[in-house]
Amino acid sequence: MYTLQISVKLHDTDAAGLLFFANQFKMAHDAYEGFMEQIGFSFARIFQDEDFLLPIVHAEADYKARLQVGDRLIIQLTVEKIGDSSFVLLYDLSDADGKSAGMVRTVHVCTDEGTGKKRSLPDELRRGLLSES
């Protein structure tokens, strides 16, 4: 499991001062980037040194509780599923008291950088994902 702690910023909110629902995706993506770096696959490495990409092909979110400017948020990322060419990540967004405020799920597919066609996950990436599941 990967954990990221952040605070809700003014630019994350809507006109009512509450977390704008779509910004759950942005926050989850911040956790995703940190997680990938932790398992050795920073986006700099992927874009510069690898011959594959990991586009998100599906994303969904549930907004469960109000969050406003200054609220502390803990994002816990877990690897939900690993397939031959894809993986699913689950992000639990909780407030400082541990109450779930939202949930995000993303599905990533490994594609060949040149052709854009689906391909098997590289073994090193699979091992990194398995170490966190």
Does the structural domain 2-131 have CATH classification 3.10.129.10?
yes
Entry pTM: 0.91
Domain boundaries in the chain? 2-131
Catalytic site positions: 14
The length of the chain, given as a count of residues: 133
CB atoms within 10 A of CB 50: 14
Q: Which residues contact 108 (CB under 8 A, 6 or more apart)?
A: 54, 55, 56, 57, 86, 87, 88, 89
| Nearest Cα to Cα of residue 55 among 127, 126, 117, 103 | 117
Digits of tens for pLDDT over the chain (133 positions)?
Answer: 899 999 999 998 888 888 888 899 999 999 999 999 999 999 999 999 999 999 999 999 998 888 889 889 999 999 999 999 999 999 999 988 889 999 999 999 999 999 999 999 999 999 999 987 6
